[in-house]
Amino acid sequence: MLINKHILLGVSGGIAAYKAAELVRLLRKQGAEVRVVMTKSAMQFIAPLTFQALSGNPVHSELLDADAENAMGHISLARWADLLIIAPATANLIAKLTHGLADDLLSTLYLAATCPVYVAPAMNQAMWNKTVTQENIEKLQHHGVKIIGPEQGDQACGETGYGRMSEPVAICNYLTDAPENQSSSPVQCLQGLKVLISTGPTREPLDPVRYLTNRSSGKMGYALANAALKAGAEVTLVSGPVALTAPANCELVPVETAAQMYEAVMSRASGHTIYIGAAAVADYSPAIMQSEKIKKQEEQTTIILQKTKDILADVAKLDKRPFTVGFAAETHNLETYARDKLVRKKLDMIAANWVGREQGGFDSEQNALHVFWESGEKTLAMTDKTRLAEQLISLIAERFFIKS
């Protein structure tokens, strides 16, 4: 995954420049932030506007542009980049990089960059096979540059041989798999995002001394809050009554009833990027709360229950809705019920867990999840809730970045 990686994509002037547009899309799908630098001749093949629209950032092409130097000049761009990929790289550009020429923005950036550099060559097969090109490639490799491709096949010029730029998906996979792009420390995959989590049980009062509740301990939600903080998010934790200490650096909103949880979540949801509903909210609460203690009378008695408002479904209906993740706690038909909740409540994801079993679910140190979204699913095996929460947060970040 390339979550939050700053990727500088250099595009030089060859027919394969159109493939670079697909590369931008794939890199962004992997969670990367992409900025594009084009040479003058690249702009003859594809309009900068295409890259601007796909990357969501202005395209850079001028070395000596007063405005650009004030904002993202060549040194700032080089410092910003976690990796530089040049695709397509023409024979001319490869020659310039090999010899340290810096007569335009892209070749200057290459000299200024201290991050890993990848080059995906694209040229006519005869140009690729020319001794001088092969010597240049060897030198670049010797300088630490990683060469991706080229591939063999039919070329735009009508010839066949090595010189076709590698497919964008192959380039993207190469970057994703490269060990130097793997994070060794906890991935700050939610850096700067605001995450709202609801957790714990609710208590629905019958009279001043009694209430209806459930077995939720809040452990799953508190573990998610810790994992989201570790991933760099700002966290708000709306918590039912539990015996846990909230992480010091999150905003804790204690609530008791389903109605209070509804108010606390709904008033905050639009101000957050992601909402995770891990709370075991009462589906029904007593229609009337008696003001005095109910006296023991008949052998049997009846309590009239009133449906509570569905917090998760209402968050997903908001005009400015966060990326909405629900939980499903089931004693049977886990997948069917979870998929039904995903669709019916219009969620982005749902994390389903078995409850009422010996291991996992309510008030257990461990849990396992089967996570569903519109186009996929993933099983997170039984492990302690801390580890499980980290895995779920990574998955949420991955799906969130793909969707946005």
Task: Please say whether the beta carbons of 369 and 382 come within 8 A.
Answer: no
Point out the catalytic residue in the list 157, 172, 189, 250.
Answer: 157
Instruction: Describe the chain by its helix, strand, coil percentages, rounded to 5.
Output: 35, 25, 40
Site string for ligand PMT, 209-228 (x = CB under 6 A): -------xxxxx--------
Distance of closest approach, residue 207 Cβ to ligand PMT, in angstroms: 22
**Using the rule CB under 6 A, is 283 a contact of ligand PMT?**
yes
12 CB-near residues (< 8 Å, 6+ apart): 39, 41, 42, 86, 88, 89, 90, 92, 93, 106
Task: Please say whether the beta carbons of 296 and 251 come within 8 A.
Answer: no
Of 83, 258, 316, 389, the one binding ligand PMT (CB under 6 A) is: 258
In the complex with ligand PMT, which residue's Cβ is closer, 19 or 219? 219
Site string for ligand PMT, 173-212 (x = CB under 6 A): ----------------------------------------
- Pairing, β 151-154 against β 117-121: unpaired
**Using the rule CB under 6 A, is 353 a contact of ligand PMT?**
yes
Distance CA 74, CA 113 (A): 9
Distance CA 43, CA 35 (A): 15
Unique residue bearing structure tokens 């669709």: 343
In the complex with ligand PMT, which residue's Cβ is closer, 4 or 308? 308
Of 274, 328, 371, 389, the one binding ligand PMT (CB under 6 A) is: 328
Q: How many helices (H) and strands (E) does the chain have?
A: 15, 19
Of 113, 311, 389, 396, the one binding ligand PMT (CB under 6 A) is: 311
Q: Which of 85, 83, 89, 19 is nearest to 51 (CA)?
A: 19
Task: Please say whether the beta carbons of 404 and 323 come within 8 A.
Answer: yes
Supply 348's token pair: 């982005």
In the complex with ligand PMT, which residue's Cβ is closer, 168 or 322? 322
**Using the rule CB under 6 A, is 362 a contact of ligand PMT?**
yes
Q: How far is CA 78 from CA 176, 191, 306, in A?
A: 20, 21, 61
The footprint of ligand PMT on this chain (CB under 6 A) covers a number of residues equal to: 26
DSSP state of 300: S
Give the binding range for ligand PMT (CB under 6 A) out of 123-131, 150-158, 185-193, 360-368: 360-368
Site string for ligand PMT, 19-58 (x = CB under 6 A): ----------------------------------------
Task: Please say whether the beta carbons of 328 and 341 come within 8 A.
Answer: yes
Site string for ligand PMT, 261-280 (x = CB under 6 A): ----------------xxxx
**Using the rule CB under 6 A, is 380 a contact of ligand PMT?**
no
**Using the rule CB under 6 A, is 365 a contact of ligand PMT?**
no
Distance CA 316, CA 320 (A): 9
250 is annotated as an active-site residue: no
Give the binding range for ligand PMT (CB under 6 A) out of 12-20, 133-141, 293-301, 327-335: 327-335
Which amino acids are annotated catalytic? 157
In the complex, the residues that contact ligand PMT under the rule CB under 6 A are 216-220, 258, 277-281, 283, 308, 310-312, 326-329, 341, 353, 355, 361-363
